[in-house]
Amino acid sequence: MKREVKSFIHARSRTAKKDSKTFKEFENKLFFSLKEIKNFNHLLSLNETNILEIGFGDGKNILHQAINNPEKNFYGLEVYQNGIASTLRQIKLNNLNNIFLIYGDARDFLNKLKKPILDYIFILFPDPWPKKKHWKRRLINKDFLVQAKNSLKNKGQIIIRTDWEDYDTELAKAFKTYEVTQNYNLLGSLKPLKTKYENKAAQEGRKLFTYISDLEN
C-alpha cells in the first residue's frame, strides 16, 4: 500500500499542560479531533453559511472573521496544537459560538464530508515547500483541488493566497476558471486579515497572488 505523503511534519514534543486543559474543556463542543469523528455532517448545516480555513495558524484571521460575521459558521483546520489551544482561549475570551476548530489533515477532513456543504474554503499562504524534492508535500495540487470542489456548494469558492511564483503556476494548471486579483474587497465582510507571511513577503518585495476560483472538473 502506497504511503500517503503529508503536507506537514510534526516535531516530537509533549502537549503543554495548559493546552491539554484547554482541549479537555472544549472537546466535542468547539474542538474536534479527526481521529475521533467518523463524519462532520452533524456539525454543518446546508441551510447555513459554512466557511473553512485550512491552516489557520495563530487564529487571528478566523477570529476576526467570526467576530465580524456572527451569522456565519467558521471551521478552522490546523495540525499544530499550540495554535489550536491559543485560538480556543481567544474564542472563550470573546464569547464566540460560531467557530469550530479541528485537529487534523485537510484531506482527511474533506474525505469525511459526505456532501457539498461548504460555501468558502480559505487557504492563506500554504507552506510552499520550496525545494523541488519536497514538492510532493505541497497541499495544493489538482487532486486536492478536485477534492475541495466536491465539498463546495453550488457557486462555492476557494480562495488561495500565495507569494511563491512556481506555486502560482501549479495552481493555474489546476483551475479551469479563476481570477487573479489584488482586490480582497471583492470578498466584502469576508476579506481576510493580512497574515505575518503576507507582511513579510511585501517587505521583501515579492509578488502576491490571490486566486478566487471555480475548480476544473
Report pLDDT digits (tens) over 52-108.
Answer: 999 999 999 999 999 999 999 999 999 999 999 999 999 999 999 999 999 999 999
Does residue 27 form part of some domain? Answer: no
Does residue 5 form part of some domain? Answer: no
Does residue 3 form part of some domain? Answer: no
Distance, in Å, from the CA atom of 23 to the CA atom of 197, rounded to the nearest integer, reads 27
Please list the active-site residues: 127
Q: pLDDT per residue over 184-214, tens digit each?
A: 666 788 888 888 888 888 899 988 877 776 5
pLDDT class of 14 with cuts at 50, 70, 90: low
Q: What is the pTM of this model?
A: 0.85
Domain count, the chain: 1
> The CATH number of the domain where 129 resides is what?
3.40.50.150
Does residue 129 form part of some domain? Answer: yes
Does residue 162 form part of some domain? Answer: yes
Contact 107, 144 (CB under 8 A): yes
> C-alpha grid cell for residue 10?
510534526
Contact 153, 117 (CB under 8 A): yes
Does residue 185 form part of some domain? Answer: yes
Does residue 179 form part of some domain? Answer: yes
Host domain of residue 71: 43-213
Does residue 82 form part of some domain? Answer: yes
